[in-house]
Amino acid sequence: PVVDTLRLTAEEAAGLLARGELSARELRNAYLDAIGERNGELHCFLRTVEDAEGDGVPIALKDVISTKGVETTAGSKILAGYVPVFDATVASRVKAAGLSLLGKTNTDEFAMGSSTENSAYGPSRNPWNPTRVPGGSGGGSAAAVTAGLAPWALGSDTGGSIKQPSALCGNVGLRPTYGSVSRYGVVAFASSLDQIGPVAKTVRDVALLYSIIAGSDPCDSTTAELPDAPRLPEGDSLAGVRIGVPTELNEAEGIEPGVREAVSRALSLAEELGAELDECSLPRSVRYGLPCYYLIAPAEASSNLARYDGVRYGPRSEGASYQELVDRTRDEGFGDEPKRRIMLGTYALSAGYYEAFYGQAQKVRTLIIQEHREALERFDVLACPTSPTVAFPIGERAADPLAMYASDLLTIPSCLAGLPGLSIPCGL
Ligand code: GLN
**Ligand 1 pocket: which of 65, 107, 161 to mutate (most atoms within 8 A of CB):** 161
The stretch 153-161 carries a mean pLDDT of 98
Give the CA radius of gyration of the chain.
Answer: 21
Atom of ligand 1 nearest to the CA of 156: 9
> What is the chain's mean pLDDT, rounded?
96
pLDDT tens-digit series, residues 109-137: 999 999 999 999 999 999 999 999 999 99
Q: How confident is the model at residue 1 (pLDDT cuts 50, 70, 90)?
A: low
List the 58-62 sheet strands across, edge first: 45-48, 100-105, 58-62, 152-157, 195-200, 172-175, 421-423
The stretch 7-28 carries a mean pLDDT of 97
Atom of ligand 1 nearest to the CA of 415: 8
Look at the pTM and tell me if it is higher than 0.85: yes
- Read off the DSSP letter of residue 392: P
Q: How confident is the model at residue 250 (pLDDT cuts 50, 70, 90)?
A: very high
Instruction: Check pLDDT > 80 for residue 72.
Output: yes
Chain-centre distance of CA 54, in angstroms?
A: 24
- Read off the DSSP letter of residue 210: H
Q: How many CB atoms lie within 10 A of CB 178?
A: 20
Compute the distance from residue 142 Cα to the ligand 1 centre, in Å. 15
Q: Which of 66, 115, 137, 423 is catalytic?
A: 137
Q: Which of 163-177, 201-215, 229-243, 353-367 has the lowest mean pLDDT?
A: 229-243
CB–CB of 302/342 below 8 Å? yes
Instruction: Check pLDDT > 90 for residue 229.
Output: no
Which pLDDT score is estimated for 308?
97
**Does the annotation mark 62 as catalytic?**
yes
List the 242-246 sheet strands across, edge first: 276-280, 242-246, 381-382
Residue type, 6: L
Compute the distance from residue 405 Cα to the ligand 1 centre, in Å. 8
**Ligand 1 pocket: which of 194, 344, 408, 414 to mutate (most atoms within 8 A of CB):** 408
Which pLDDT score is estimated for 180?
96
The pocket around ligand 1, CB under 6 angstroms, is made up of 111-114, 137, 156-161, 189, 297, 408
Q: How far is CA 73 from CA 60, 67, 154, 165, 198, in A?
A: 15, 10, 16, 20, 20
Coil, strand or helix at 385: coil
Compute the distance from residue 255 Cα to the ligand 1 centre, in Å. 19
Compute the distance from residue 243 Cα to the ligand 1 centre, in Å. 26
With pLDDT > 90 as the criterion, what percentage of the chain qualifies?
A: 95
Q: Which of 62, 95, 163, 201 is catalytic?
A: 62
Residues 6 or more apart in contact with residue 169 via CB below 8 angstroms: 126, 127, 128, 134, 135, 139, 142, 143, 145, 146, 391
Q: How many CB atoms lie within 10 A of CB 39?
A: 22
Atom of ligand 1 nearest to the CA of 294: 10
Which pLDDT score is estimated for 235?
86
Query: 203-213 vs 10-18: helix axis angle to the nearest 10?
Result: 70
Q: How confident is the model at residue 231 (pLDDT cuts 50, 70, 90)?
A: confident
Beta bridge partners of 45: 105
Instruction: Check pLDDT > 90 for residue 97.
Output: yes
Q: How confident is the model at residue 226 (pLDDT cuts 50, 70, 90)?
A: confident
d(CA 245, CA 97): 37
Residues 6 or more apart in contact with residue 143 via CB below 8 angstroms: 42, 44, 124, 125, 126, 127, 134, 149, 165, 169
Q: Which of 100, 114, 119, 161 is catalytic?
A: 161
With pLDDT > 70 as the criterion, what percentage of the chain qualifies?
A: 100
Which pLDDT score is estimated for 228?
76
Residues 6 or more apart in contact with residue 19 via CB below 8 angstroms: none
